[in-house]
A and B are shown apart, each in its own frame.
Chain A
Amino acid sequence: MSAELPPELANMQQDEEGDIIMNPIRERNPLVTAAMGIVPGLGHFYIGRPVAGILYLISGIFMVLLILWVGAQAEFDPFGQMFARDVERYLGIALLQYLLIAFAVLFWVWQAAAAALKTAGRRRAAPVVGAVALIGFTYLLGFQATEVDLEKFITEFPDTFRIFTLIIWPWEQAVQRDEILLTAQTNWLTPCAGDPPEQTREGDTWITLDPACGEIAAFSLEEARVVPGTQLTATGSGFDPGVPVELWWILQSTDPDVPEEEVEDPETPEGAPEVEGFIPNLLVNIVPPPPEEEEEIIDVDAVAGFASHPPVYNADPRIGTLANPEDFEDGQTGSIEIIPNEEGMFEVTFGAPQSLPTPDEGPYTYVWQARQTEALSAPRISDDFRLAVDRMVVTIFQALMATSLGIIFAVPVSFLAARNLMFDNPITRIIYYVVRFLLNVVRSIEPIIWGVIAIAWVGLGPFAGVMALMIHTIAALGKLYSESIESIDAGPIEAITATGATRLQTILFAIVPQIVPPYISFTLYRWDINVRMSTIIGFVGGGGIGQILFQWINQSRWGSAGMAVWLIAITVSVLDYASSELRKRFV
């Protein structure tokens, strides 16, 4: 295996690859070599393998730094609370650290032994052990760094399964039935000043409050408790017997700064009356009647502890009506249902609730509204489904715009980035390098990052998504296009040049016909990617279906999210199929 050495090197030794070893190893004492191995790599230096020595030294330093770094991960925030998770994590890290140290020691012994064994004349010193140690070290670290937690696969499964089923089959969400409401309302003044609003009992359906003015509940700083509001008795008539009635409490705006129209809120319950001049959706909680109460007219006064527990205001209309009084006691966030008697009447007494923001100057007029769901409308396509389809269309157009705008820029750029067009001349050669560099930089930044940049640039919305995709498309297509220019046949270029054509004519007659098929093919391919990417770009605020999907996921509205996922899957696969079919015709 060893080649014949020139005479001046005759006393040198060669290793199995024929490299010359600076110090013939047999002259060294294996014990000395092993001792030198206390410093990683020194043993190898000693036996005349400086490169191996340096590698061992670097590996050793690297391992020590890693062990220190992993140790640093275990130090949790001393001011924060220590949760069970942290304890687990701490133990995990400690264990990992021990394992890493074990590996490091193994490595250390191994490198010293390897050097010593080489001195002793055994040349292939267990490289497998070293490789296994290093691989094990790497994977242990990877396992920790990515917080792999296999247990969660099992423990978290039931919850996930429920969500999963909603996503797999979300179509119940695609239909909705609207509530047809029967309402009655009256005005109420706080605090009492001047004439209280008249409480009339007119029409088929009505509601009155007694007294017609009073104090609302308020948090008192001095007493550190909620001071209950005036006791009110609401009486209503003309409702459907036995069907629950909800009581709503709405501040009538007296402030000209408060916008007249309702704030656009997708959460507004379907069919909520659009009453002008109201701050919307303050839902009242009414202390529940005792479950055993059989009387037709519910007297809430009878509930023990009422005075010290005034109803609290609830700003979250999503909670809706709670069927069970116990729920109210737990959470204090629900409202209750009042069941009218056989004549469609009810009477209920309760403390005026607290209002946020508490009006500090008055008087204010509140509207009290009793709502009863009379019936459900016929099923119709749900608003969420419409929204999802609408956004899907936006997304497809986003992809279309991004691809088209991208092409417009990518085509000229691709000519500047084509080696065969730009290399004859030093100036164009510089342009080529600059353009190539820019393309590589832009391409290496993911569209989603461009999305964040675009949002900072043009603001939230679909245009930001289009811009992000466009920028990435220019770079990606510019590269692909320029490569297809580079791979064209140079013969026609020569031939056309030889006819006395200008450079532009040469491009149009010799290059364009050759690059049209690959350009079309690459463009379709990119359009495909852009459709897929535009569904994601919304997650950072780039508009389209991604944005609404992200919102729904955050609100745990899995059914609606599932519809969005389905729409994305359907659209992407249809377009995928279409573009691959189209591409087949051009290649």
Chain B
Amino acid sequence: MLEIKNLTKVYDTGTVALKDVTCTIPDGSFTVVIGLSGSGKSTMLRCINRLIDPTDGQIIFDGQDITAARGEELRKIRREIGMIFQHFNLVRRSTVLTNVLSGRLGYVNPAMSLFNRFPQEDRDRALEALEQVGLDDKAYNRADALSGGQQQRVGIARALMQRPKMILADEPVASLDPVLAHSIMEYLEKLNQEQGITILCSLHYLDLVQRYSTNVIGLRRGRLVYQGTNEDIRNLTDADFKDIYGEQAVRIGTGSITG
């Protein structure tokens, strides 16, 4: 279970990206964060694995205080939380296999990894993970030789290598076409349902939200303005919508969102 308590982030520039956000992400849930661009979705996800240091507040993951963790302790927490990115963030010049294996870096003997040596067990597991995302034939290709959808699947495989309890996904499908978007989301859904991995994902398209999420969090200008289940999203009222997307926002379609 991930508990976020009074999370506040003020950037050096003075931008208040998150303001007093408190919420709980239940274990095994597929939680989606929605909100306008600039509402603080990425900031929130990055605070969770401390790619960004929060200014104030607490994040508790399985009883461990992430915000207080340092060094070794922080790395141990990070390796239990996988992350996938909008722009995949693969090391483009390395092979697919190396990219996937780098998901094990938090576990392996640091000295061995410096020479790009991974235990056979990890290599087998990497190939297995690639098989899971349907890319076992591309293991020795360079990462930049893959299409966007394939790269995102490599990103998922890399996260899987961490044997994560939770996966953070920051707009994982925003740079993919709708068909690919669904296929990626289906992979995430499968991980969520079959392996019980908690997914915390930010999304822009309400149809995807409706189709894949179990829980939804709405952010607006850094504040938590909405919290509900998938059921609630299907019955999202105009008032709720305006809460999240602002007074001027116009909903396309009526009643529920098609998806």
**Chain A interfacial positions (CB closer than 8 Å to B):** 489, 491-492, 494-502, 504-505, 508-510, 513-514, 516-517
Cβ-defined contact, B93 with A501, below 8 A: no
On chain B, the residues within 8 Å of A491 by CB distance are 85, 87-89
The list of the 7 closest CB pairs from A to B, nearest first, reads A500-B106, A500-B79, A491-B89, A501-B105, A495-B89, A500-B78, A498-B83
Contact A499 B114 (CB under 8 A): no
Sample 19 A-B pairs with CB under 8 A, ordered by A number.
A489-B92, A491-B85, A491-B88, A491-B89, A495-B158, A496-B105, A498-B168, A499-B103, A500-B105, A500-B107, A501-B75, A502-B110, A505-B114, A509-B91, A510-B91, A513-B91, A513-B92, A514-B93, A517-B93
B82 to chain A, nearest CB (A): 8
User: Is A516 within 8 A of B93, CB to CB?
Assistant: yes
Q: How far is the CA of A517 from the CA of B94 in the complex (A)?
A: 12
Q: How far is the CA of A199 from the CA of B104 in the complex (A)?
A: 96
Contact, CB under 8 Å: A504 / B91: no
Q: How long is the Cα–Cα vector from A42 to B12 in the complex, in angstroms?
A: 49
Whether B79 lies near A499 (C-beta < 8 A) is yes
Q: Does B113 contact A (CB under 8 A)?
A: yes
How far, in angstroms, from A228 to B48 measured CA to CA in the complex? 105
| CA distance in complex: A497, B78 (Å) | 8
Please determine whether A500 and B76 come into contact, CB atoms closer than 8 angstroms.
yes
The chain B residue with its CB closest to the CB of A505 is: B105
**B91 adjacent to A492 (CB under 8 Å):** yes
Q: Is there an interface contact between A501 and B102, defined as CB atoms closer than 8 Å? A: yes
How many A-B residue contacts, CB cutoff 8 Å?
Answer: 84
Contacts of B82 in A (CB 8 A): 498-499
What is the CA–CA distance of A489 and B90 in the complex, to the nearest angstrom? 10
- In the complex, whether B29 has a CB less than 8 A from a CB of chain A is no
B96-113 interface bits toward A, Cβ cutoff 8 Å, 1 = contact, 0 = none:
001000111111001001
Report the Cα distance A496→B90, complex, angstroms. Answer: 9
- Judging by beta carbons under 8 Å apart, are A513 and B90 in contact? no
Residue B51 at the chain A interface, CB threshold 8 Å: yes
B81 within 8 A of A: yes
Q: Give me 8 other A-B pairs in contact (C-beta within 8 A), A499-B102, A499-B161 excluded.
A: A491-B89, A494-B51, A495-B85, A499-B105, A500-B107, A502-B110, A513-B92, A514-B91
**In the complex, which residue of chain A has the Cβ closest to the Cβ of B98?**
A509
| Interface membership of B162, Cβ < 8 A | yes
| B49 at interface, CB cutoff 8 A | yes
Number of interface residues of B (CB under 8 A): 35
Complex contacts, B49 vs chain A, CB 8 Å: 498
Cβ-neighbour of B102 out of A489, A496, A517 (below 8 A)? A496
How far does the Cβ of A516 sit from chain B's closest Cβ, in whole Å? 7
Contacts of A504 in B (CB 8 A): 110, 114
Q: A492-B90, A509-B105, A514-B91 are in contact. Are A499 and B85 (CB under 8 A)?
A: no
Q: Report B160-179 CB contacts with A as 1/0, cut-off 8 Å.
A: 01100000100000000000
Q: Please name all residues of chain A whose beta carbon is closer than 8 Å to the beta carbon of B161 when the two chains form the complex.
A: 499
Most buried by B among A491, A499, A505: A499
Do B75 and A500 touch (CB < 8 A)?
yes
CA of A502 to CA of B113, assembled, Å:
11
Q: How far is the CB of A384 from chain B (nearest CB, A)?
A: 50
Question: Which residues on A sit within 8 Å (CB–CB) of B76?
Answer: 500
Q: Report Cα–Cα, A510/B103, bound state, in Å.
A: 12
Q: Is the CB of A499 within 8 A of B87?
A: no
Interface residues of B in 30-54 (CB under 8 A from A): 49, 51
Q: In the complex the two chains form, what is the Cα distance from A496 to B114 in whole Å? A: 14
Q: Shortest beta-carbon distance, A495 to chain B, in Å?
A: 4
Which residues of A sit under 8 angstroms from B80, Cβ to Cβ? 500
Cα-based distance from A494 to B49 in the complex (angstroms): 10
B49, B77, B82, B106 — most chain A CB neighbours (10 Å) = B106
CA distance A483 to B25 in the complex (A): 41
Expressed in whole angstroms, the minimum distance between the Cβ of B54 and any Cβ of chain A is 15
- The CA of A501 and the CA of B79, in the complex, are separated in Å by 8
CA distance A499 to B110 in the complex (A): 13
Q: How far is the CA of A502 from the CA of B79 in the complex (A)?
A: 11
Q: Which residues of A contact B81 (CB under 8 A)?
A: 498
> Could you say which residues of chain A place their CB within 8 Å of the CB of B158?
495, 499
Least Cβ distance of A149 to chain B in Å?
A: 57
- When the two chains form their complex, are residues B93 and A499 in contact, meaning their CB atoms are under 8 A apart? no
User: Contacts A502-B110, A505-B113; is A492 near B89 (CB within 8 Å)?
Assistant: yes
Which residues from chain B contact A510 at a C-beta distance below 8 Å? Answer: 91, 102
Give A108 to B106 CA distance when docked, in angstroms. 76
User: Which residues on A sit within 8 Å (CB–CB) of B155?
Assistant: 495
Q: Is the CB of A498 within 8 A of B110?
A: no
Q: Write out the residue numbers on chain A whose beta carbons fall within 8 Å of the beta carbon of B87.
A: 491
In the assembled complex, the Cα of A501 lies from the Cα of B98 at a distance in Å of 14
Q: How far, in Å, is B48 (CB) from chain A's closest CB?
A: 10
Is the pair B75, A502 in contact by a Cβ cutoff of 8 Å?
Answer: yes
A213 to chain B, nearest CB (A): 83
Per the bound structure, the CA–CA distance linking A409 and B161 in Å amounts to 36
Q: Which of A495, A504, A510, A514 has the most CB of B within 10 A?
A: A495
Chain B residues, CB < 8 A from A516: 93
Looking at the assembled complex, report how far the CB atom of B66 sits from the nearest CB atom of chain A, in whole angstroms. 12
Residues of B within 8 A of A498 (CB): 49, 51, 78, 81-83, 168
Query: Complex: how many Å from CA A504 to CA B81?
Result: 20
Q: How far is the CA of A516 from the CA of B92 in the complex (A)?
A: 12
Q: How many Å from the CB of A509 to the closest CB on chain B?
A: 5
Residue of A nearest to B102 (CB): A509
**Smallest CB–CB gap between A302 and chain B, Å?**
92
Greatest chain B CB density within 10 A among A489, A496, A501, A502 is at A501
* Closest chain A CB from B102 CB (angstroms): 5
CA distance A504 to B75 in the complex (A): 13
Cα A498 to Cα B91 in complex, Å, equals 14
| B71 CB, nearest partner CB in chain A, Å | 9
A230 to B229, CA, bound (A): 127
Kindly identify which residue among A489, A495, A514 contacts B83, using a CB–CB cutoff of 8 Å. A495
Q: How far is the CB of A205 from chain B (nearest CB, A)?
A: 75
Taking the closest CB of chain B, its distance from the CB of A528, in whole angstroms, is 24
A227 smallest CB distance to B (angstroms):
85
Measured in the bound complex, the distance between the Cα atoms of B83 and A513 in whole Å is: 21
Question: Are A499 and B91 in contact, with the CB atoms below 8 A?
Answer: no
Q: A500-B75, A500-B78, A501-B75 are in contact. Are A495 and B90 (CB under 8 A)?
A: yes
Per-position 1/0 for B221-257, Cβ under 8 A of A? 0000000000000000000000000000000000000
Q: With a CB–CB cut-off of 8 A, which chain B residues contact A492?
A: 89-92
> What is the CB-to-nearest-CB distance from A419 to chain B, in angstroms, rounded to a whole number?
15
Complex Cα distance, B87 from A504, in Å, reads 24
Q: Pick the contact of A508 from B77, B78, B93, B114 — CB < 8 Å?
A: B114
Find residues 191-246 in chain B having any chain A CB closer than 8 Å to their own CB.
Answer: none
Residue of B nearest to A500 (CB): B106
